[in-house]
Amino acid sequence: MDDPKVNLKSGSNLEKVLKAGHFAFTGECGPPKGANIEHLREKFHHLKGVVDAVNVTDNQTAVVRLSSWAASAIMVQEGVEPNFQMVCRDRNRLAMQSDILGVYTLGIRNMLCLSGDHQKFGNHPQAKNVYDIDSMQLIALAKKMRDEGKFFNDDPIDVPPKLFIGAASNPFAEPHAFRIHRLAKKIAAGADFIQTQCIYNMERFREFMHQAVDMGLTEKCFILAGVTPMKSVGMANYMAKQVPGMDVPDSLIKRLKGVEKSKVAEEGIRFCLEQIEEFKSMKGVAGVHLMAIEWEHRVPEIAERAGLLPRPVVE
């Protein structure tokens, strides 16, 4: 890995924490379906000082929400580091470059590049999608703007945006054998860090990380393991059956079913804590990304119990 002091690419807190060799911890916060920034503030304040950066989702599940750049900018104002998400569904290459410059000027330093859920899932299925470029090409674009100081078309940029570039990886989607290669492509394109899809099948994830280490990928990029605590048996069943690319083993569903209804959420958190404990010592895993969907208020407790507090401060 690069020398942390000399080679900071963006200077984001997340980058500093990772490059200093700490086990990183990131959270997530979905902007509101409206301009209710009080609600947004309330949600992300639970995460302040508890995580190293907060992912700000970009019209996730193709449902219109407050823009991810505006929500990220509000976080910056309030001293919480955002990880600004950008999807390829809603913007062409002009809008993407413009927004990359825009978020940088607003103090945003992390960006996660995603394809985006298809609009068919959302509340505007009649929309025309863009997909001018894909997530792989978006990673390469953000890197080119940062490292070469050039736009897509090679024109020079007057003050390039220095962002810490993230990407997603789903070890559980099919075809399985190709997933590690797709991860390698994202890293070759310029991803500095990876946040994985929610992990439930630990066996499969161990195998995936083993491959990543063998291929030298973890030497080039920080991999954060994605977790989402199960709140109920219904949620587990839904994730298992309805969410494409999600791998929820029967053993986990059985485990949740095996406790009293009032204790299922606690059991879900326990499983999550066991996962985090294993990730701490799993070769190649640089941190955890906790997607506590609408459960931001439980994150401090989870962080505490997982032994992830206090968060490191790296100058």
Partner 1 sequence: MIVADRKSIQEILDMVKTCSKILVVGCKGCVTVCNVGGLKEVQILAATLKIARKKDGRPLQVDEALLERQCDPEYVAMLKDTVYDYEAVISMACGVGPQFLSEAYPDQRFYPAVNTTFFGGAVAHGIWEERCAGCGTCIIHYFDGLCPIARCSKSLLNGPCGGSDHGKCEISKEVECIWDKIVRKKMEQGRLNDLLDVVPAKNWQTARDGGPRRSRREELIQHG
What are the residues binding partner 1 (CB under 8 A)?
88-89, 93, 115-118, 120-121, 129, 131-137, 140-141, 152, 168-170, 173-175, 177-178, 181-182, 184-185, 188-189, 197, 244-245
Q: Return d(Cα 6, Cα 159) in angstroms, integer.
A: 20
The DSSP call for residue 148 is: I
* Buried-exposed string 150-159: b where 16+ CB fall within 10 A, e elsewhere: ebeeeeebee
Tell me whether residue 108 or residue 114 sits nearer to partner 1 (CB atom): 114
Residue 120: strand, helix, or coil: helix
C-beta of 82 vs 171, nearer to partner 1: 171
Shortest spacing between CB 243 and partner 1, in angstroms: 9
- Cβ atoms of residues 276 and 227 within 8 Å: yes
State the Cα–Cα distance between residues 97 and 91, nearest whole angstrom. Answer: 10
What minimum distance in Å lies between the beta carbon of 197 and partner 1? Answer: 6
H helix intervals, the chain = 13-19, 37-45, 68-77, 93-105, 135-143, 176-189, 202-214, 233-242, 250-257, 264-281, 299-305
User: C-beta of 262: minimal distance to partner 1 in Å?
Assistant: 33
Q: What's the min distance (Å) between Cβ of 199 and partner 1? A: 13
Rounded distance between C-alpha atoms, residue 169 and residue 221, angstroms: 12
Q: Which is nearer to partner 1, 94 or 309 (CB)?
A: 94
Q: Which is nearer to partner 1, 114 or 264 (CB)?
A: 114
CB of 280 to partner 1, least distance (A): 25
- CA pair distance 312, 310, nearest whole angstrom: 6
Q: Are 267 and 275 in contact (CB under 8 A)?
A: no
Which residue type, as a one-letter code, is found at position 142? Answer: A
CB of 50 to partner 1, least distance (A): 27
Residue 261: DSSP 8-state:
G
How many residues in total does the chain contain?
A: 315
- As measured in angstroms, the least distance from the Cβ of 173 to partner 1 is 5
Which lies closer to partner 1 via its Cβ, residue 106 or residue 188? 188
Q: Which is nearer to partner 1, 65 or 89 (CB)?
A: 89
Output 73 or 189, the one with its CB closest to partner 1: 189
